Amino acid sequence: MYVYDKHDQQLLNERVAQFRWQMERYLAGKIGEDEFLPLRLQNGIYVQRYAPMLRVAVPYGALNATQLRALAQVARDYDKGYAHFSTRQNVQFNWPALEDCPQILADLAEVQMHAVQTSGNCIRNTTTDEYAGVIAEEITDPRPYCEIIRQWSTFHPEFAYLPRKFKIAVNAVPGADRAAIQVHDIGVNIIRNDQGELGYRILVGGGLGRTPIIGTEIRSFLAEEDLLTYLEAVIRVYNQFGRRDNKYKARIKILVKALGVERMQELVEAEWQRIRHSDSRLTREELERVAAHFTAPDYTPLTDEPQELVSARAANPAFARWLGRNVRQHKQAGYAVVTLTLKQKGTAPGDVTAEQMDSVATLADRYSFGELRSTHQQNLVLADVEQRELFNLWQEAKALGLATPTLGLLTDMICCPGGDFCALANAKSIPVAEAIQVRFDDLDYLHDLGEIDLNISGCMNACGHHHVGNIGVLGVDKKGEEFYQISLGGSCGGEHSEEASLGKILGPSFARDQMPDVIARILDFYVAQRSDGESFLEAYRRLGHTPFKEAVYGKAD
Amino acid sequence: MAKLIKQGALQDTDPWSTDTDGYRLVTLEQWQNERDAVLAELSAGRTGLLLDSHETADLIGDDSRHFPLIAVNFPKFADGRGYSAARLLRERHGYQGELRAVGDVLIDQLFYMKRCGFDAFALREDQDSSDALQALSTFSVTYQADVGEPRPLFRRR
Ligand code: SF4
């Protein structure tokens, strides 16, 4: 993973000092509330329903064991002993005191972590595939490009006060969309052109929120060295012409829609032609310097399917089930990619305790070269585990409650913090997730259902990505009461298809206690109608919306 | 007069902030409508241009070079269009005169403004000028190219 040099560390230390000074001036009444707002946001601090929330960046999901221990320490020292992994691969603390935040950031800076631009109207944490670098399907490892984007976007002097937040995601697997790039402000797809040269296909104007839109291609091929100048051109156009009069119409997707993608493309091209040969053009040396941080660890020469694994699998069905679900093929023989699911029954999706974090850090040290990743499905990944150690790892993970064998299944839900924590919420989301986990806890049934994305957001801001859930749940407010609207058929593309789709609303919303029954009706209908091996999404796409609607609401006359 | 920081120091006097001696700012619209008249008075060096936040740099373009001063207005500090305007005036249109941030100009944005090419800052009335001077040197490392340093860090590492 990327290791800071003296420049990176110096910059971060200066940031810590800057924010400490800003906090002092704020507490002394020298900075007004409105003026402090973007300063704290760009240092990851929201003021939530009950307390401030601190969102720490995990750049493109990459963490090491030392950093995870530091996060556990923050949870103990400044919070209530736990943390929450978000759908942007970041970590959130829900209970720090505002005055403590500068010291928390100073503590984190010692392990090369920060909360820079995790909120606010600026360029946010770039996200990518949590399996980057360890799966054979990728064209190249996307992480060096994410790091290059991270450095370029960090304290970019021109783009700290954009019309609205700006999110970039990078995918490097052909025929798949492993980072939901189609629902980002800019989606970067790493590709090879007909000449075999590495470059990017660029999408623009995707997004969820109030106006969900699938991104459109703005450039079919961009050469490898041109990444930053092109991003700069897109965002410069957006900074100048994006709407600032209405925050709900301020994202780049609205600008792209208003101008039309052809006009947007003209403006961006014109801008880019004038800067593409500037010194901001990436150099071979820089690409290589950054890529050198992401070389493969020191793998032991091993073979697939070692005896330890084969016999443990044969002897232990629960282990076999976990292997089938939560463990993935590695590109290196004898190794495997393991997902530790943060979806234990009885805890909110993405929540981990300080003890669990410490234990996972130990697991990472013991089994996976001291590194791990966070995922946008709110899980953790140990990416380089020897297959002969899988049984040992499973036993330890199981004892920690991190081996629920449900990766990608119904109860591996994505869920935003919702009304329990978030001031913007229309409704709580965690209790809905919990009710569904309790109702559908039969592993045989879950495995029989197969892969289903169920995503829950507590309001239209869609932090729980409900539009791209195969089943999406959205909290709505009806005359002061909390209700839930269901949509079906959404997908962010994912492993098997590069085609994203937005869910379609099923009908009138439901009260919270009705939700498990309603989900059950949808699932029963799918099970009754599916043909052999057909996933929920495939069945929905084949059967269409109406039959599902009728299964839930009865037939309209 | 508003607190003015120019070339890294607090100024006691500023001809532009008084209406005397013929110093005045014209709006972009005035420039466009009365171009010849404005050009005629420019030789005295006392006519500046005021660019509002919705007016992009290309609307004045290379004509910017006629002016000894361009003031870019920040109606709200969170309106970030002025950063692009400044950068484009400097980097694209070769503007060398004084580039002054006016309006809702606050301490905690000065460092970014400076990097985008502003060399004068008319602080909002309530801002502490010694804090402002301190803010101008917040960071000693920057990743990106900017007006003062055309090479991004990766060409300087
Ligand atoms: S979707 Fe709404 S309720 Fe949920 S975290 Fe985002 S803003 Fe809060």
Read off the pLDDT of each residue in B61-68 and give the average, rounded to a whole number.
97
Ligand 1 atom nearest to A458, measured from its CA: 3
Instruction: Give residue A369's region: left, alpha or beta (phi > 0; psi -120 to 50).
Output: left
A288 in contact with B, Cβ within 8 Å: no
Read off the pLDDT of each residue in B76-86 and give the average, rounded to a whole number.
98
A291 in contact with B, Cβ within 8 Å: no
Distance B145 CA to ligand 1 centre (A): 36
One-letter amino acid at A502 equals: L
Q: Among B79, B138, B157, whose Cβ lies nearest the Cβ of A7?
A: B157
- What is the C-alpha separation between A420 and A209, in angstroms, rounded? 20
Per-residue pLDDT tens for A497-540?
678 899 999 999 999 999 999 999 999 999 999 998 899 999 99
CATH, range A135-293:
3.30.413.10
Give yes or no for a contact between A153 and A117, defined as CB atoms under 8 angstroms apart: yes
Distance A416 CA to ligand 1 centre (A): 6
CATH, range A6-109:
3.90.480.20
pLDDT at A119: 94
Task: Indicate where chain A has its CATH 3.30.413.10 domain(s).
Answer: 135-293, 414-553
Per-residue pLDDT tens for A150-176?
999 999 999 999 999 999 999 999 999
Q: What is the DSSP string of A421-468?
A: T-TT-SS--HHHHHHHHHHT--HHHHHHH----EEEESSTT-TT-GGG
Q: CA-based angle A245:A246:A251, to the nearest 5?
A: 105
Give yes or no for a contact between B25 and B48, defined as CB atoms under 8 angstroms apart: yes
Q: How far is CA A539 from CA A465, A516, A517, A518, A525, in A?
A: 21, 21, 20, 18, 10
Per-residue pLDDT tens for A237-291?
999 999 999 999 999 999 999 999 999 999 999 999 999 999 999 999 999 999 9
pLDDT at A496: 67
Residue A494 has pLDDT above 90, yes or no: no
Residue A484 has pLDDT above 90, yes or no: yes
- What is the C-alpha separation between A499 and B95, in angstroms, rounded? 47
Nearest residue of B to residue A159, measured between CA atoms: B80
As a three-state string, the secondary structure of A170-225 is EECCCCCECCCHHHCCEEEEEEECCCCCEEEEEEECCECCCCCECCEEEEEEEEHH
Read off the pLDDT of each residue in A369-387 and give the average, rounded to a whole number.
95
A282 in contact with B, Cβ within 8 Å: yes
A193 in contact with B, Cβ within 8 Å: no
Domain ranges of chain B: 3-155
Q: Among B56, B109, B154, whose Cβ lies nearest the Cβ of A240?
A: B56
| Best residue of A5, A153, A158 to probe chain B, by most B CBs closer than 10 Å | A158
Q: Among A159, A274, A279, whose Cβ lies nearest the Cβ of B155?
A: A279
| Best residue of A121, A234, A240, A271 to probe chain B, by most B CBs closer than 10 Å | A240
Q: Among B87, B153, B155, whose Cβ lies nearest the Cβ of A158?
A: B87
Distance A163 CA to ligand 1 centre (A): 20
Q: In the numeric block, which tokens belong to residue A255?
A: 């600008």
A455 in contact with B, Cβ within 8 Å: no
Q: Which CATH superfamily is domain B3-155 in?
A: Aldolase class I (3.20.20.70)
pLDDT at A252: 97
ipTM > 0.90 for the complex? yes
- pTM for this one? 0.94
pLDDT at A493: 81
Give yes or no for a contact between B99 and B118, defined as CB atoms under 8 angstroms apart: yes
Give yes or no for a contact between A358 and A76, defined as CB atoms under 8 angstroms apart: no
In terms of residues, how long is chain B? 157
Distance A348 CA to ligand 1 centre (A): 14
Task: Indicate where chain A has its CATH 3.90.480.20 domain(s).
Answer: 6-109
pLDDT at A556: 66
Residue A467 has pLDDT above 70, yes or no: yes
Per-residue pLDDT tens for A96-124?
999 999 999 999 999 999 999 999 999 99
Ligand 1 atom nearest to A423, measured from its CA: 8
Q: Higher-confidence residue: A235 or B13?
A: A235
Please enumerate in sequence order all residues whose Cβ is within 8 A of that of A255, keeping only pairs 6 or more positions apart, or say none: A205, A237, A238, A241, A242, A243, A264
Q: Is A161 helix (H, G, I), strand (E, B) or coil?
A: coil
> In which band, very low, low, confident or very high, does the pLDDT at A557 lie, cut at 50, 70 and 90?
low
> In which band, very low, low, confident or very high, does the pLDDT at A43 lie, cut at 50, 70 and 90?
very high
Read off the pLDDT of each residue in A218-232 and give the average, rounded to a whole number.
98
> In which band, very low, low, confident or very high, does the pLDDT at A334 lie, cut at 50, 70 and 90?
very high
Shortest alpha-carbon distance between residue B12 and chain A (Å):
23
Give yes or no for a contact between A215 and A182, defined as CB atoms under 8 angstroms apart: yes
The pLDDT > 90 percentage for chain A reads: 90
> In which band, very low, low, confident or very high, does the pLDDT at A49 lie, cut at 50, 70 and 90?
low
Give yes or no for a contact between A487 and A472, defined as CB atoms under 8 angstroms apart: yes
Residue B22 has pLDDT above 90, yes or no: no
- What is the C-alpha separation between B68 and A336, in angstroms, rounded? 66
Mean pLDDT of chain A: 95
- Residues in A closer than 8 angstroms to B84, CB to CB, are 158, 236, 239-240
> What is the CATH architecture of A414-553?
2-Layer Sandwich (3.30)
Phi, psi angles (nearest 5°) of residue A218 = -110, -20
Phi, psi angles (nearest 5°) of residue A382 = -100, 115
